[in-house]
Chain A
Amino acid sequence: MNSLVVNNSFRFIGLVLLQVLVLNHVNLFGFLNPMIYIVWIFLFPIRKNKSLFLILSFLLGLTIDFFSDSGGINAAATLFIAFIRLPVLKAVLKKTDFDYLLFNLRAISFGKAFLFIIILTLIHHFIIFSLEYFSLNSINSIIYNTILTSGITIIISILGIILFSKKK
């Protein structure tokens, strides 16, 4: 239990620093910046007490906002995917109820975990770019940026999860 708190705190701080100091300046092909900090949302243990998780995800987004001067864009998007994480997971796994304590992203099959990550990343990036552009005229840019950035984010986050988490 205690190691769970330590683990998640380290992951929180590590992902924020990685995001704001390295990944916000990657500029792949001139404009792609992967947003890896949402891996924290994927990996946070699923429990019945979900309020703490909501508040922490809000703080995660807000920390990124502080660093990148973006108002509350990241906070809004991160909070939203935190809220829909459980319903999405249930829909992907086609289960109504599952073992909350023993759940681990590495324990479910790769295809399902992949689908879960794709859905949440696409929604998150779409909210971010919609709020950033904030105009229907630039819907093309929004969708273009969402798809390309999501691709990079998904590849890096899956590689990261496979490399840095223990297999059960």
Chain B
Amino acid sequence: MQQIIYFIRKFRYFLLFILLETVAFIFIIQHHSYHKSKFVNSANSVTGGIYNTVSSVNDFFLLKSENERLIEENTQLKNLLNKRDINFNQITFKVNDSAKFGQKYEYTVAKIINNNYTNRNNSLTINKGTNQGITSDLGVINSKGIIGVTKSTSGNYTTVLSILNNNSKINVRLKNSNHFGTLIWNGKDYNILQLIDMPRQAQIKIGDTIITGGKSAIFPEGITIGTVKDFNFENNQYQNINIKLFNDMSAIGYVQIVKNLERIEQLNLENNTINE
């Protein structure tokens, strides 16, 4: 016993180092697994509060680009409305009583208060949390494309796993055909993402538009993401398909969080099918 105490006293400095280093590695490993990063994240009130204060100043400089984006989106929505009018005239449609009947997605607006895009694994912090009904695994988009998926939440803040992350895999498809692929990021340029798992039957051309596929329960189908910049076709396989994003990930201000109201229903059904 005395030997052990002597040993601990003699090496306590080294043992303390090992102990703290182990704690740090536990945090790193927890952070890598998707749902467990409960402790070390910027969604708590101290870091979130500081970021919120600073971003209220930075906002001022983003006003111009944010306005331009809003005007663009307004034009797009007006065009959409006009198309609707024509359709309404042609076919009869019935009005449902219940306010939310048939509504599949619900959108919440949020402001980005911290944005990283130069690391290998990037994340963002937004100023809405569980008090506003945000949970983990919700899609985050803006009018030009997708931003990421929510990860950890606190009362008023949420961290978002950016699409510029090693752990991010988004189901996408070509706009003009129904071939699905997966969108990943190789960590080099924050405007260029990579498309993998494209079947060789797909006809890809430079300039083709990529949109979200409806396979996942997170993003609605048909959100535009970017265009094909270049690719190689070797051994009858598509390789190195680079996608240029419509979004400038370095300058995003306001985003929308998409809540899929039928998500639980869909996931339960899929789980049951797998288990059978």
Contacts and interface: CB of A to CB of B under 8 A. Distances in A.
Interface in B17-43: 17, 20-21, 23-32, 37, 40-42
Interface string A72-92: 110110011001000000000
A21 B114 CA distance: 9
A31 to B, nearest CB: 5
Contact of B37 (A27, A50, A62, A71): A71
B31 A141 contact: no
A131 interface: yes
A31 B118 contact: yes
Contacts of A83: 17
Which of B37, B46, B121, B250 has the most C-beta atoms of chain A within 10 angstroms of its own C-beta?
B121
Contact of A70 (B31, B50, B114): B31
A31 B23 CA distance: 29
A27 B44 contact: no
B116 A24 contact: yes
A150 interface: no
Contacts of B187: 133, 138, 141
Nearest to A141: B187
A95 B260 CA distance: 66
Contact of A75 (B12, B24, B159): B24
A68 interface: yes
B123 interface: yes
Nearest to B31: A71
A136 B40 CA distance: 26
Given A21-B54, A73-B28, A68 B20 contact: no
Nearest to A62: B40
Interface in A86-141: 131-134, 138, 141
A69 B158 CA distance: 11
A65 B27 contact: yes
A67 B114 CA distance: 9
Contacts of A138: 120, 187
B119 interface: yes
Given A66-B42, A69-B123, A76-B28, A55 B20 contact: yes
Contacts of B13: 50-51, 54
Contacts of B108: none
Contacts of A134: 32
Nearest to B160: A69
Given A69-B42, A71-B29, 4 more contacts: A55-B20, A62-B24, A67-B50, A69-B125
